[in-house]
Chains A and B, each alone.
Chain A
């Protein structure tokens, strides 16, 4: 067990976490930066080339930063201490402040065939491509709804993939309203135009849903439903996701108030726990510009810097959150009785429907008790059946036995 004391712990090394780390280090603080990925940058900055990597490396190499990659927060034995598992050791890290920058994950929803190899999330597809999965010359279909489809389509097109189709659940007028509501920001308007320039030759089906997929000898056959018509599209890879959900387990573990939309904070980003701040997508899906503005604000709060400017900036950027929250309503795709909902334990829709809540389903079917600990099926059962988890208990991440030899619950008394 290694003990480490720093001024601030930041959990999540995406754009928000890295920006906050940069500002705090600049102000003379000692910082521990924790991320479960092997590289800093989060899903959005990772694998974007040398310039971004160099900027991230300059922060993670700072002498006052403890950079803990491939590491997980397992528990919070006291309000100011986190139990952290790194690849080689178990650590107690104590800090005056904790910044939650845990970001978001995709809402991945079950449909017949979604467990077929070659079917993945939209962001999942991009993350895997950044990790070296070949996409050049591959026929790819992107489907679902949410803000990820367009930047990922742009990325895939720029890396030589053949975009066979984009299947968007939202209607064309709905998407046009989303586009026009971005006009408040010149930057976002330019982004939208860039994305569309990459996909203008791609067949796009609006108000459509992928209802099934099955593997043929050398491809995937994707069934796409538009109103009462169903057609089949052949591709090599299918990326399908339904918007994003914030990662809330750490905030809940620390006793912060949360809603399904994000960690609840005041205007100064303080959570229900006065020493814990939340920034970026964990506060609600609002995009990278907002995440970075919040990171600057959080650092200014902690170091008594210029909070006023950043507070105004955050308020401006948060407008995008309101747009995002209403522009991509999610309708779960239809599931069949034999559709697997919990992929870790192979629990089907038919096995889950008799249950009144997730607790009962967990106890009787093991839904949500496998390796992912309900992080995939939890959002699925919330969308399909309206079930919510009772509470979060440590360990909040799969941990080694030597890690669990240390107390994970706060000491009583």
Chain B
């Protein structure tokens, strides 16, 4: 297990998972807001669709499904109602 932060809140997640997996474990389904303001979430799971773009360690547009979590990683997702 390792600790990461999501929107500045600490979360403990499994150590061998992707950022998309960690977000889902923490209950964050929505990963980005679309150009017309809709909530979006991972679709293809394999780096094709770019719906899982999140900000990781202040770098925007990182693919959550293609990035493995690291201890201390800081992830930002849109502040909105999660389903």
Interface of A with B (CB < 8 Å)? 36-39, 43, 70, 105-106, 108, 115, 117-121, 123-128, 131-134, 215, 218, 343-346, 370-372, 375-376, 398
Contact = CB atoms under 8 A, between A and B. Distances in A.
Contact of A128 (B35, B36, B42, B83): B42
A410 B45 CA distance: 33
Contacts of B61: 371
Nearest to B46: A127
Contacts of A106: 44
Contact of B44 (A121, A370, A398): A121
Q: Among the interface residues A43, A128, A134, A345, which one has the most CB atoms of the partner chain B within 10 A? A: A128
Interface residues of B, number: 37
Contact of A133 (B25, B46, B50, B68): B25
Interface of B: 13-14, 16-18, 20-22, 24-25, 29-30, 34-36, 38-51, 53, 61, 65-68, 82-83
Contacts of B82: 117
B5 to A, nearest CB: 17
Contacts of A125: 45
B-side binding surface: helix, strand, loop or mixed?
loop
Contacts of B14: 132
A376 B49 contact: yes
Nearest to B52: A128
A127 to B, nearest CB: 3
Contact of A38 (B35, B39, B66): B66
27 contacts: A36-B66, A37-B46, A37-B66, A38-B68, A105-B44, A108-B44, A117-B83, A120-B43, A120-B45, A121-B43, A123-B44, A123-B46, A124-B42, A125-B45, A128-B18, A128-B45, A131-B17, A131-B21, A132-B14, A133-B21, A133-B42, A343-B40, A344-B35, A346-B35, A346-B38, A370-B35, A376-B49
A121 B46 CA distance: 10
